[in-house]
Structure 1
Amino acid sequence: MSNLDRGIVLRIPITCHGTADPVETRATGLVNIDDIAFTGAGDTLLAAINADNEVALVRPDGSHTTVLTAADGLENPTSLAVRGTTVYIANGAYSTNNDPNLLAARIRTGE
């Protein structure tokens, strides 16, 4: 799960009994994070950074890199969905009032 105001990604482990273990902070420094989507198997995920018009790749160690920006057509990304090697990004265009849209981008692994 993510916390928009604190800019963090949290992990809530579930035990074999269906109860929650203590919450773990997995990534920080992602202020205005609006949504996350896992890229596939494992703990690597993409994060929609709404106010900054960015999508960040967040690695299991918590490090992150901007992979898409306004130059790629982002306008206040609000949600992400991954299907196979494609990520779909819904853009609300709240601050630009220009072009709410749905972008599709290819996920490249191993590079």
Structure 2
Amino acid sequence: MTFPPSGGHPLVDTSQPLVMTLPAAPTREEVARLCAELAAAPPGDVRCEVDPRAHGLAAVDALARLALAARRAGHRLTFDGAGPDLTALLRLTGLDEVL
């Protein structure tokens, strides 16, 4: 009995989204690591859990970099958990619709 070849990589479970965590105070190294992880993963759904204490322009920069890396790699990225301060700053910068 033969079976047709399956699509996709046999060792990667694409039925569940890739889950990442953005810490409250992301460093450049952490953001670079997360972007590299996005680039290495096969295209699919990605959920980024944002620490609710994350705030300030460093967090906005990190989210923007992750969104760009996800788009480049063909991912569908969603963010969950952003606190009210970060949400307000995203609105103020005009990035709430983009992200």
Q: Name the structure where strand makes up a greater proportion of residues.
A: 1
Q: Using structure 2 for the length normalisation, give the TM-score.
A: 0.25
- Report which of the two structures shows the higher radius of gyration computed on alpha carbons: 2
Higher RCO by CA contacts (8 Å cutoff, separation 6 or greater): 2
Q: Name the structure where helix makes up a greater proportion of residues.
A: 2
